[in-house]
Structure 1
Amino acid sequence: MVKNRIFMALANCLIGLICLCLGSQSLAWESPAAPPSVTKGAQRYKLENGLTVILKEDHTSPVSAVQVWVKTGSANEREKEAGITHLIEHMIFKGTKKRKTGEIARAIESAGGQINAYTSYDRTVYHVEIRSSHLETALDVLLDAVQHSTFDPTELAREKEVVLEEYRRSLDSPTRRLAKAVMRLCFHKHPYGRPIIGYEDTIRSFDRNAILSYVDRWYTPKNVVLVVVGDFDSQEVLNKVRFLTRDFPKRRGQRPLRVQEPAQRQLRQRLLHQDVKQVYLDMSWHIPGLSHPDTPALDVLEILLGYGKSSRLYDRLKSKENLVHDIDASAYEMLDSGLFSIEATLQPGNLHRALKGIAKEVRAVQRRLVPEAELQKAKKIVEADFLYAMETASGQARTLGFFETMTGDMRHSDEYLRQVRAVSPEDILRVARTYLRPSNMSAVAIVPKDSPLSLEREEVESLFRANLAPPKGQLRHGKSGVPRSSIEKIVLMNGLRLLVKENHNLPVVSVVAVFLGGSRLEPNGKWGISGFVAEMLTRGTTNMSARDIALVVEGMGARLNAFSGRNSFGITGKFLSRDLARGFDILSEIIKNPTFPAEEVEKVRIDLLQTIKAKQDRPMAQLFDLFYATFYKHHPYGHPKTGTEQTVRE
C-alpha cells in the first residue's frame, strides 16, 4: 500500500534516480507509545582490566564500525600542555612496535575501510568503518595503536609541523577565530577557554617525554570505552577483544582535576576589527553540563529559536527583514558546563538592527508560553535528528559511545528521548528565563578593519533585558538483527528509475532525487546556474509558498535540502516513517510544480552573492577554486560551482 502511493506520487516526475531506505512501521507509527530504544540489542561488558566494551549486532549490511573512546580531552591538560591531546591523537596512528609509520592506515584502507580520529574538550575518539569480513583487522589495528604507540621522536617532529600548519590554517578562518574568541571570553578559569589545538609555543615545546607522561595519566583501561556495532557474532568479538587487550600497559592513571568556572555576574562583550568582508556575530550564555535535567529543554529551545527556515530567528531576521546572511542557535553541552549560542553572519550596516531583532525573539520566549503546536514540532525535530544519526553502524556506535563516555551509562540515550517528549511550554519558559539573562551572556563580533561599528555593553544589556511579568498563556500543573534486503530496481512507465532498499532498524526514510546536470552541463557564461536552480526548487510551487514548504517539512521533523555538484543536482530528504506519505506528497509537489517566484529568485541571488563574497574570508575556498580553474582550463569543471558575481547577477 505504501509503495503504491509512492509510485503514484512520482509517476509524472522526470527524475533520474531515487534511492530509499524504508524504515519500520511505515504508516503505523502515528502515535508511538514510547520512543525507539537506541540501546536495544546493545550489550555492555567490563573486562578484568577495567576496559568497557559495548557490542551491538546489526546484520542489516555487511559493515561494522569500531570506535575507541578515551575519556580525556583538552580540558584535562595542564596550562603548558595546551594542545597535547590533539597532537597525541595524530601520533597514535604513526607507528607501534608491530606496525611502522604508514602501515596502520594502509592496513585499514587496503581492506576497503576508513580510519580517522578527533579530539574534543572532554574526549578523544579513534574510529574505523570496514566490511565485517575485515573486522578482526580493525580491532587489531585500533587496539594496538591505543595501547602500544611508540611516539617515535622523528615522527613526532614531522607531526608537530603538520599540526602547526593546521593551527595556522585555523587563523585563516573567521568562524574558527570567532569560536576561539567566544570560548576565551566565556571561560576565564576553566580549561574550556583554551583552544583544543593549543598554541604555537606549546605545540613546539612538546617532546616524547611530555607525551608519555600524558598517556600514562589518561590512556588507561578504566578510561577507555570500546564500541563495536555491525554484522558480527558478539561472543567471537568479545573473545577477540579480551585477547588483544590482555597485555594492556599498566599506567598510573589520574582523576580529572579541573578548575571550575565562577558564575558570570555581568555581560561581557568584545569587538574585533579584522580583515573580513562581513560581520561574524556570536552571543553565548552559560548553561549546565550534559547530564543536567535541563538539557532536553535547552535542546528543544535551540530548535524553536534557530533550527531551519521556520524557526523564530530565521523567520524574522532572514525571511521577513533580510538582515542576516544566515543565523542559527545551538546548545553545546559539554561535560562540566556548556553554552547556548546564537550565531549570525551579516552585512556591517545591519549589525545593530540584527541585534534588536535577536533580542526581541529571546525576550519573547522569556515572556510567553510557546504554543503547543510549535513545541510539538520542535520536539519532533529533536527526536528525528537523533534517529537520523542512528541510520548507520557508525552513527549507532557514536551515540552509544557518546552517552557511555559523557554520562557514564549508554542507557541515558533512551532516557534522553523520553525527557525530550516530556518537555512542556513551562519548561521552555523556565530555562529561557534561567539562562538567557544579560548578566550570563557574552557577545563577540568580528567586523571589517575599517568599520566604525561599536558593541557597547549598555546597549546590548538594554536590548536583552526582559521585563519578566507573569507569562502570557495558560499555565498547566501539574531479534539480534534484520536479514539483509537487496536493492529493488523499478522502472516506471515514464522511464523514471526507482531504487528501493528496505531497512527496518529505525523508523526513518531517506530519499534522494537526482537529475543529470551540475556544472558539467551549464551553458557557457551561465556558471552557477545549476546551484541557483537547485536552491529555487524549495522556494515555491503552484500550491505552496517557500514558507509553506518550510513549515510543513520542519513540522514533520523532516529534512529537505537541495544540492548541486559537478555532474548532477537534485533534492535529498529524510522523514520519520509515520510521515512517509506526506513526505512524498511534498517531494512530488516540489519536483513537478516549481514556479520560481521572482521575489524568491532575488532572495536566492542575494544569498549566492553573499556566499561568493564570503570566499574572500576563506583562503582554502579560494585555493580550491584556483586549483580547478588551473587543472580544468578548457572544461566546465574549471568554473566555481557557486558561479561568479557576474554570472549570478546576470
Structure 2
Amino acid sequence: MRHIVSLFILTLFIAISTSAATAATPARAASAAERLVRLPNGLTVYILRDARFPLVCTRLYVRTGSANEEPGHAGISHLLEHMVFKGTEHRPKGQVARDVEALGGYLNAATSFDKTWYMTDMPAAHWRTGMDVVKDMAFQAQLDPKELEAEKNVVISELQRGEDSPMRKLYENLQVAGLKNTPYGRPIIGYVDTIKAVTAQDLRDYVKRWYQPRNMLLLVAGDIEPDAVLAYAQKLFGGLKNSGDLPVPQPLDLTDAAGGPRVEVSRGPWNKVYLGIALPAPGLRDLRSVELDVLSYLLGGDGTSAFYRKYKYEKQLVDSISVDNMSLARAGLLTITAQLDPGKLEIFWRELTGDLAKLTAKDFSADAVRRAKFNLEDGMDRAGETLNGLASWKGAIQFDLGGEQAERNLRFTQRNVDESQLQNAIARWLAPEQARVRVLAPEGAALPDLDAILQKNWPAGSGAQKTSTAETSAGKREVVQLGQGRTLILIPDATVPYISLDLMLPGGQALLKPEQQGLADLTARLLTDGSGKLDAQGVERYFAERAAAISARAGLQTFGISLTGPSRFNADYFSVLADVFSKPRFEAKELRREVENMKSAIRQRADRPLAYMFAKLNPFLYPGGQSYGFDGLGTPQSLDGFDRKDVQAFWTRQSGQPWVLSVAGSFEREAVLAFARSLPAPERRDFAVPAPVWGRDRTLNLNLPGRNQAHLLQLFKTVPPTHPDAPALMLLQAVLSGQSGLLFSSLRDEQGLGYTVTAFNRSMPETGFMAFYIGTTPDKVEQARKGFAGIIAELKAKPLPKALLAAGSNRLLGEYLRDRQSLADRAGEAATDAVLRYPQDFQKQLLDKAAALTPADVQAVARKYLEPANAYEVTLLP
C-alpha cells in the first residue's frame, strides 16, 4: 500500500444552492461539479456530479474504528458493522439488502483502524434509496440481543477463516508487533473473547459516543442534481443531534511503538515460508510519509524495483517480494514481505538484512526515482476512471487527508522528493531496533537462526550510522472489418486520458494436447518477458516509465494480450504491442524462470483452500484429457518438459488465428487504424472445440489438514450462454445469491451455518453449471447440505414471487453497469464477444431477456436443471 492509495485498501467537492443558504455554510470555494457543505449539526456533505454512468455512489463515513476501542471491547467496531445488516427500526432483518438489490444496487460496509463506512451503489434513478439506507444503518440499527449472539459466531468464523490465509495472518502479526504499543496494536476484527463479551448495550453506548453528525462525512457521487441531493441530505440528516464531546486523538510517540520479540516464528500447515519485517512509520498527514512512499516503490513497488530485481528476477530466491508503506491517521507501518521456499530462507535472509544495513539513497538512480514518483502520482490520477474509484479517492482526500489543499501539498512534496530526503527517510525510519520480524513456516521445515543473523548483519542501534548532511465525451462504438480475419473495435471515451487495448484470438487451452497442459499459460507469461529489442527488464522499465501495464492470458478457448496506460504514450504502446505479437524473444532463461514461477504457484494452492479446491474442479468435471478439464498451470512434470521450441510452435499456431483488436479510451482513430493494419494477417487456422463430456464420478472429497473451515460446493450441469435457458439461469442465480438472496437469508441469517454463502452461474462457451457454495465448520457440513436441498425443493415446489424476480433482474443490471465502468473491462468484453462470435452487447441482451421472464419460467429451469442427475459435489475438509 502506498500512502493515500492505501486508504482504499483500509478499506480495497462546492457551491451552495439558494435553498440551502440559510441552513448550511460553505466549506470552501465554488466548483461547478462539486459541493462541500457543513450542516448546522456538523455533518459534512460532499456532492460530486459525474454523469458518465447512470449510477450514484453514496458513502457515509464515521470517524471511528478499531483504534478508538477499549481493549476489552476489541472488535466492537467491526461487530457493529455486521449488526447493522440484521435489521433497523424501519427495515426487518434482510430488508436492507432486499431494498437495495431489488433496485439493482450494491450494498456493503467496512471497518478500518480509523473509520467505518457504509456504502451503496445505485442506479441513478434510485439515489434517494441509497441515502435512506446508509442513514438507516448508521443511526437506526435494532441491535437485537438474540441476533447479536448469532452474529458473534459469524464474526468468529470470519476470524478463523483469516487464520487459514497465510498472507492475511502474516500482515496481522506484523501490524500487532510493529504498532503493539499504540492503539493500532490490535487486529481490527478483535479476539474471540472480546467479541463474545460485547453486549447490545455496549453497541448502543459505542454508537452514542462515536456516531455523531459532526464526526461524519456523507459523500454522494454520480449522475445527480446537487441541489436535490443537498436538500434531501438536510431532510434526512439535518435533525440529528450530537450526543456529547468527542475525545481529541493525541499524537503518537513512535519511539517505542514496536513490541514483542524481535523475531517470532509460527509453525502451521504451510508449504512455503511467509516472512515479513514491520517498522513503525509516520501517519497519513505527516508529509515525511511521502518520502517513505517513494522509498517503498524504489525497493519493492514493481518489476523494476531493487528487491524484486535482485531477489525475484536475478537470484530467484523468492516467489514474491514487496515493500509497502501503510499510512494510518496517527501512525503508519512500513512492511517488507516475501514468500519463498524453506530451503532458500537462510541465503535470502542473510542478503536481505545485509542490504538493509548498508542501504543508502545513492543506490537509486535518478531515472528510478523519477519513475517511482511518476507511477505513484499515476495511481492517484487513475482512481477517477470508475465512479466507485472516484468516490473512494475523493472521500479519502476529504475525510482522511484533510481536503484539496492537503492533496496539493501531498503531490507537491512527492514530486520534489530528492536524494537528501530519501536518505533522511532511510536513517530515521529504517531503524533496526524498531524492526519486528514475523515468520510463518511449515511444521517440519528446518530454519536458520534468524535472530542471530539479524543481529549480526543489522544490529540494533546501527541505524544512525546511515544519517548524512466532467461531462461525458464518450463516442459510439465502431466495428471495422479489415478483412483476412482481422476485426477492429473502437470504443472512444475521452473522459479520462487513458487507453486500453485488448488483442484477442480464439485458442488458448483448446489448442493443447493433454500432455501440453500449462503451455498456453507459459507462453502468455513469456510474451511480456521480452520482445524486439527489449529484454524482460527492459519491458518492465518501458512500461513503468509510462505508468502503463501489459499482460497476456490464456483461457479455456481464447488467448488475449491487454495493455493499458496514459493515452499520451499511445504511439509507444502501438510499437511495443506490435513487437510482442510479432517478435517475442522467448529466451531460455526467462522460460526456466517462468516455469519455476508456475511450479511455485501450483505449490501455493495448498496454502489457500479455495484456490486448491477450484484447481481440482475442472479436471474432476471434465476428465479424460479434454481441454475443458486442463489445469491452466499444468503439472510440474509437464512444465519441466517444455523448451523454447515448444513455446514457439504453440505461438506460431496461436498467433495464426483470426484476431480482434478492441481499443477503448482516448485515441486518434486514424492512428489506431494504421496500427491495426500493420499487424500480421492471420493464416486462418480455425479450429473447433467439442462440447465437453462430463465425468461419471459425482463426488470429490478433498482434505487440507490443519485448517479451521470446511468448504462445500454443489454443482448442477447447465448450458452455454447461447442456450435459450441461459437468461433464466442467470436470473435464478441472482435470486439465490447476494445478501438478500435465498441462500444467504436461510443458511447464514436464519441458521448461522457459515460466513460465506452464495450461488454462482458459470456459463462457458460450450457448457455451464450452477453452483451452490458455503464456507462453514466441519460439524455443519451435513446441515449445510440439507439447507441446499431445502432451498432447491422450495424452488421446484412453487413459483417465486414476481417482486423477487424483479429484484434479481435489477441486481443483474446493476452488476452489469458497475462491472463495465473501466476502459479495460469494456475493451475486454467487446473483444471476447467478437472472438466467441457473440452479438454486440450480448450480455445486455441476456439481461433484457431475463427481465421479461415469469415466475413459471424460472420454476421450469429450476425443475429442469437442479436435479440429482445433474449434480456434482466437492467437499474440502480440514
TM bucket (normalised to shorter chain) is 0.7 to 0.9
Query: Whole-Å Cα distance in 2 between the matches of residues 512 and 337 of structure 1?
Result: 41
Matched, 1:328 2:322: yes
Say if 2:498 and 2:564, in contact at 8 Å, map to a contact too: yes
Q: CA offsets per residue over residues 244-292 of structure 1, 9 Å max, x none?
A: 2234365446325579465139992222232221111111221110111
Say if 1:310 and 1:554, in contact at 8 Å, map to a contact too: yes
Aligned partner of 1:643: which letter?
G
Q: Report matched runs for 1:411-430 at 5 Å.
A: 411-430=405-424
Matching residue within 538, 543, 559 for 2:528: 538
Query: Whole-Å Cα distance in 2 between the matches of residues 424 and 40 of structure 1?
Result: 37
Q: Report matched runs for 1:600-619 at 5 Å.
A: 600-619=590-609
Equivalent residue for 2:385?
391
Equivalent residue for 1:218?
210
Secondary structure, aligned partner of 1:336: coil
Secondary structure, aligned partner of 1:202: helix
Query: Whole-Å Cα distance in 1 between the matches of residues 623 and 121 of structure 2?
Result: 37
Q: Report matched runs for 1:621-636 at 5 Å.
A: 621-628=611-618, 630=620, 636=627
Q: Which moved more, 1:291-300 or 1:357-366?
A: 357-366
Secondary structure, aligned partner of 2:265: strand
Q: CA offsets per residue over residues 559-607 of structure 1, 9 Å max, x none?
A: 2233344454423333123222212322222123223222211111110
Equivalent residue for 1:356?
350
Q: Which moved more, 1:101-110 or 1:254-263?
A: 254-263
Query: Whole-Å Cα distance in 2 between the matches of residues 110 and 518 of structure 1?
Result: 38
Equivalent residue for 2:99?
107
Equivalent residue for 1:339?
333
- Over 3 Å counting, the alpha-carbon distance change for 1:205 and 1:486 in structure 2 is farther
Query: Whole-Å Cα distance in 2 between the matches of residues 639 and 151 of structure 1?
Result: 49
Matched, 1:297 2:288: no
Secondary structure, aligned partner of 2:326: strand
Aligned partner of 2:639: which letter?
V
Matched, 1:648 2:642: no
Secondary structure, aligned partner of 1:98: coil
Equivalent residue for 2:502?
512
Say if 1:182 and 1:282, in contact at 8 Å, map to a contact too: yes
Query: Whole-Å Cα distance in 1 between the matches of residues 589 and 250 of structure 2?
Result: 53
How far residue 610 of structure 1 moved from its aligned partner, in angstroms, is 0.6
Aligned partner of 2:375: which letter?
I
* TM-score, L = length of structure 1: 0.87
Secondary structure, aligned partner of 1:92: helix
Matched, 1:167 2:134: no
Matched, 1:553 2:547: no
Equivalent residue for 2:256?
264
* TM-score, L = length of structure 2: 0.65
- Over 3 Å counting, the alpha-carbon distance change for 1:222 and 1:511 in structure 2 is farther
Equivalent residue for 2:36?
44
Matching residue within 33, 54, 58 for 1:66: 58
Q: CA offsets per residue over residues 406-439 of structure 1, 9 Å max, x none?
A: 2332542233222211111221121112111212
How far residue 149 of structure 1 moved from its aligned partner, in angstroms, is 1.5
Equivalent residue for 1:54?
46
Say if 1:300 and 1:379, in contact at 8 Å, map to a contact too: yes
Q: Report matched runs for 1:583-594 at 5 Å.
A: 583-594=573-584
Say if 1:188 and 1:261, in contact at 8 Å, map to a contact too: no
Q: Report matched runs for 1:441-456 at 5 Å.
A: 441-456=435-450
Equivalent residue for 1:440?
434
Equivalent residue for 2:235?
243
Matched, 1:378 2:372: yes
Matched, 1:307 2:298: no
Say if 1:625 and 1:639, in contact at 8 Å, map to a contact too: no
Secondary structure, aligned partner of 1:571: strand
- Over 3 Å counting, the alpha-carbon distance change for 1:490 and 1:94 in structure 2 is farther
Say if 2:622 and 2:628, in contact at 8 Å, map to a contact too: yes
Aligned partner of 1:77: which letter?
E
- Over 3 Å counting, the alpha-carbon distance change for 1:423 and 1:449 in structure 2 is same
Equivalent residue for 1:203?
195
Q: Report matched runs for 1:452-471 at 5 Å.
A: 452-464=446-458, 465=462, 468=465
Q: CA offsets per residue over residues 372-392 of structure 1, 9 Å max, x none?
A: 211111111101111222211
Equivalent residue for 1:579?
569
Query: Whole-Å Cα distance in 2 between the matches of residues 183 and 622 of structure 1?
Result: 27
Matching residue within 140, 148, 155 for 1:148: 140
Aligned partner of 1:219: which letter?
Y
Q: Number of paired residues?
A: 605
Say if 2:361 and 2:419, in contact at 8 Å, map to a contact too: no
Query: Whole-Å Cα distance in 1 between the matches of residues 464 and 370 of structure 2?
Result: 27
Equivalent residue for 2:90?
98
Aligned partner of 1:607: which letter?
N
Aligned partner of 2:356: which letter?
V
Unaligned stretches of 5+ in structure 2? 1-30, 642-878
Matching residue within 491, 499, 503 for 1:501: 491
Aligned partner of 1:556: which letter?
R
Say if 2:519 and 2:639, in contact at 8 Å, map to a contact too: yes
- Over 3 Å counting, the alpha-carbon distance change for 1:467 and 1:84 in structure 2 is closer
Secondary structure, aligned partner of 2:446: coil
Equivalent residue for 1:127?
119
Larger Rg, first or second structure (1 or 2): 2
Query: Whole-Å Cα distance in 2 between the matches of residues 511 and 40 of structure 1?
Result: 33
Query: Whole-Å Cα distance in 1 between the matches of residues 603 and 447 of structure 2?
Result: 20
Query: Whole-Å Cα distance in 1 between the matches of residues 50 and 61 of structure 2?
Result: 20
Say if 1:366 and 1:466, in contact at 8 Å, map to a contact too: no
Query: Whole-Å Cα distance in 2 between the matches of residues 90 and 566 of structure 1?
Result: 38
- Over 3 Å counting, the alpha-carbon distance change for 1:200 and 1:495 in structure 2 is same
Say if 2:177 and 2:278, in contact at 8 Å, map to a contact too: no
How far residue 166 of structure 1 moved from its aligned partner, in angstroms, is 0.9
Equivalent residue for 2:552?
562
Matching residue within 144, 149, 153 for 1:157: 149
How far residue 504 of structure 1 moved from its aligned partner, in angstroms, is 3.3
Query: Whole-Å Cα distance in 2 between the matches of residues 512 and 218 of structure 1?
Result: 48
Aligned partner of 1:307: which letter?
G
Bigger relative CO (Cα 8 Å, ≥ 6 apart): 1
Identity of aligned residues (%): 29
Matched, 1:178 2:170: yes
Query: Whole-Å Cα distance in 2 between the matches of residues 469 and 209 of structure 1?
Result: 53
How far residue 526 of structure 1 moved from its aligned partner, in angstroms, is 3.5
Matched, 1:481 2:471: yes
Secondary structure, aligned partner of 1:585: helix
Query: Whole-Å Cα distance in 2 between the matches of residues 569 and 251 of structure 1?
Result: 59
Equivalent residue for 1:528?
518
Aligned partner of 2:541: which letter?
L
Matched, 1:230 2:222: yes
Secondary structure, aligned partner of 1:500: strand
Secondary structure, aligned partner of 1:406: helix
Query: Whole-Å Cα distance in 2 between the matches of residues 113 and 517 of structure 1?
Result: 36
Q: CA offsets per residue over residues 342-373 of structure 1, 9 Å max, x none?
A: 11111112222212333354355425263221
Q: CA offsets per residue over residues 609-633 of structure 1, 9 Å max, x none?
A: 1111011122222233345555556
